[in-house]
A and B are shown apart, each in its own frame.
Chain A
Amino acid sequence: MNDMSAPPYKVVGTRPVRPDGVDKVTGKAVFGPDFAASGMLHGAVLRSPHPHARIRAIDTSKAAALPGVRAVVTGADFPTLESLTMALGESSGDVLDIARNCMALDKALYEGHAVAAVAATSTLIAREALQLIAVDYEVLPHVIGIEEAMAADAPVLHDTLFTKGLDATPDKPSNVATRFVMANGDVESALAGAAAVASGRFTTAPVHQGYIEPHACVASVNADGQTQIWASSQGAFMIRSLTATILGMPISDIRVTPLEIGGGFGGKTTVYLEPVAVLLSRKCGLPVRLVMTRDEVFRASGPAPGSVVDLRIGADKDGKLVAADIEFRNSAGAFPGSSVHATAMCSLACYRIANFRVTGWDVVSNMPSSAAYRAPGAPPVVFAVESALDEIAMQLGLDPIDLRLRNAVRPGDPGPMGMPHGPVALVECLEAAKAHPHWTAPLAPRHGRGVAAGFWPNYGGQSTATVSVAEDGTITVVTGSPDIGGSRASMAMMAAEVLGLPYEAVRCIVADTASIGFSMVTGGSRTTFATGKAVVEASEAVVATLRARAAAIWGIEDDAVTWQGGAAQAAGQEPLTIKAIAAKAGQSAGGTIAAEATVNPLDYAAGLAVHICDTEVDPETRQVRVARYTAVQDVGRAIHPSYVEGQMQGGAVQGIGWALNEGYVHDAGGRVANAGFLDYRMPVASDLPMIDTVMIEVPNPAHPFGVKGVGEAPIVPPLGAVANAVSRAAGVRLRDLPMSPDRVHAAIAAKG
């Protein structure tokens, strides 16, 4: 659905082939595990078999003596660090924790925590050497579950962790890192007067981002300290600054070359292997490659937090929401940082609600340190809220979309943190959902239909881009933002639009950290917005230069020259094409034409999405099947609509997996029992229908083309949409994710 007032763009809004496409369908693209350096060694990481253990001693002498082994490192090889909070895009982390997560020092905090690493002439030898490392562990009691970890007698992971955000500083360390409270109005009296109240406990399991490409890197350190790293990640600059800080190196001594990235979803916005590979390489002077196995990815890289949410939400008899009381606990894994602020902020952001109290707890336990996962924090709490709204709609006999329309935020309404909402288009999304044929299609027997909305604030932040004109008038765009899902195409399209050139005349690449200015991670749904702004600004500067060159050639004022259709125009002059101007640049008139732009925009706009889902519950197996799915989203302006749809579809399906199948399972010993794709089952093609998409385009006035981030909002609604559909199909409220057949069966049986 296009905004009727859409300006007539020539390139923006079309669907050209991405510039890196042919490489990716022919097997030529070089991803993280594909890169090899000459003389490269192969590394392997020894990981703790215990979820919680003190490391008394590590003896690496036998491993070091094995022929073919060239370097061994342990936590003792890392420099001593002070605690320092570093920005990692939309979130932040303490480098001390990130360093400890790369390699344990005195304590292993989860099964799979790295304790030592080896580099050898072959992977086989490196793995053999790991067996020769003797670690003297003192096994400690462990704790996995959120509530168990919060209990007064729980084993404590960090004796330096004192809960922040309490009224009085606690006198004892605990596993509770933070309490965060957001409140307004008088919740209790508003709830007491409500005509309908939905309440209860909702839980979600920790899930993995599930990128198919495992973490991988190659590091090469020279005798003078200059270091190269080749890695796939969501930010080469993020790798550079974290690695430098963790290892106490000057940032400019490290050059990170981004390789193609095989999915990240937030999980590749931190470092695991890079500092270890640098230490190994420093010891032997040769390039070292580290690649995780899938087992390691599950056991040692970032799951998204699990959660326990208690809530009460009340509405008056007309369905106007009057109050919400939400208390959620997120499992951060081994180190603090489970996005409690974002969780709180997104919980009620879709609705006008005068009285609320949202309390969040950030809880550590003996699991891998949680990492960002697409709209980090939002999906679990929104699942609880959207489930409660479904109950209220049922209690009051209201259409669930009407209930949401009655309460939907409008632009200018107070936002979650008190700042007014920007150009939010939730009403437009809800109306489009209501008008969609899916909403009114007849339901087959045993089917249920659910709807849910979701909000994600998005982000802006620092980006750099350069735009250069080649001698023949074709264009190269360079950015520092890894391309995760087609962003090179959208950057080239925006530049082509500004320059008035065909898409094919503009090529875009992602440069290494020595070849372009600082750019934050590709995350927070910021790339097309912020890096796009840098590309547009640089393109506009190039146009200004081109106009000036034409003016000089014609001997007239710059202002008398306009730029249209890829050529300078002035009254009484034959148009001068970019090609003609570029051809002259080298000889006389002014030299090379290129521009760089650095931006740090904070006028990003939020993403809003509404999803509709039909599910069927098998009467015998209680297996849930998704029968039909429609995703509606305000995308601001779709630069390349196919890749915007792709974000919506991919996010929806990740959410479906979260709702129905996925979740970490731990055994009694605190070990992950399903660390592989067979037992951690992500959705496959045969599980799913087509994912219908409706793009609403309400432009963000702060972006030259109206872009709003689109990558994260689509994973916010599906958990609630699927749960509401299943609950309606089963005739009983499902409150625990994943909704596996045994849980659905138990819920139906309990209902009687």
Chain B
Amino acid sequence: MSKVLIATKINGEAHEFACEPSASLLDALRDDLRLTGTKEGCGSGDCGACTVTLDGEMVCACLVLAPEVAGRQVGTVEGIAEDGALHPLQAKFLEHAALQCGFCTPGFLVAAKNLLDRNPDPSEHEVRFWLAGNLCRCTGYDKIVRAVLDAAAELRQERAGA
């Protein structure tokens, strides 16, 4: 099998990489681009550790073929903080101790940001169902849900003040 060359944008930055036609986006990110913030917990779409955005839609990177991202926009956990400043979601995850081991955290952050981008004022119920595709074995989700709700409130305030 010969490799294919893919040109894409990752976190707003143009990237090129060569991969097997059968490679997943997850493998391309982790192995070829060395962006290891996106995690593999299952490789079958069941844990959400590999959650990224593709043209703004939430996807499991393990279920996307790497060649599919040609000419599109990929968003990963590495792109959430801007210019070294943490996004309110990241700050709230830390403040609420919403991570224990932290392995699920990148997936949760990408998914939660995607939720808040479209719904600035989600209920606890909406947060729980939006994040139902992300497994966390450490926290029991309590502090994750609280961190997301608190970040949403802070973002609303920021917007109101802006």
Contacts and interface: CB of A to CB of B under 8 A. Distances in A.
B10 interface: no
Contacts of A556: none
A50 B125 CA distance: 44
B140 A265 contact: no
Interface string B97-135: 101111111100100000000000000100111011111
Interface string B134-162: 11111111111110000000000000000
Contacts of B99: 21, 24-25
Interface in A262-297: 262-265, 293-294
B96 to A, nearest CB: 7
A420 B129 CA distance: 48
A682 B136 CA distance: 9
Interface stretch (A174-182, A208-216, A460-468): A208-216
Interface in B48-93: 49, 76-78, 80-81, 86, 90, 93
Interface residues of A, number: 59
Interface in A1-46: 15, 17-18, 20-22, 24-31, 33-34, 36
B7 interface: no
Contact of B132 (A18, A34, A36, A685): A685
A642 interface: yes
Contacts of B95: 17
B140 to A, nearest CB: 3
B28 interface: no
A454 to B, nearest CB: 16
A263 B138 CA distance: 7
B78 to A, nearest CB: 5
A650 B129 CA distance: 19
Contact of B102 (A29, A264, A642, A691): A29
A261 interface: yes
A383 interface: no
A25 B94 contact: yes
A685 B144 contact: yes
Given A650-B139, A650-B140, A486 B44 contact: no
A676 interface: yes
A484 B101 contact: yes
A27 B78 contact: yes
Contacts of A646: 97, 100, 138-140, 143
Interface string A622-651: 000000000000000000101101110111
Contacts of B93: 25
Contacts of B76: 27
A160 interface: no
A647 B143 CA distance: 11
Interface of A: 15, 17-18, 20-22, 24-31, 33-34, 36, 124, 209-214, 260-265, 293-294, 484-486, 640, 642-643, 645-647, 649-654, 676-678, 682-688, 690-691
Given A260-B103, A263-B137, A685-B127, 14 more contacts: A22-B90, A24-B99, A27-B35, A212-B39, A212-B137, A262-B104, A645-B143, A646-B139, A650-B139, A683-B140, A684-B132, A684-B141, A685-B144, A690-B124
8 contacts: A21-B99, A22-B94, A26-B77, A31-B39, A33-B36, A211-B101, A262-B101, A646-B138
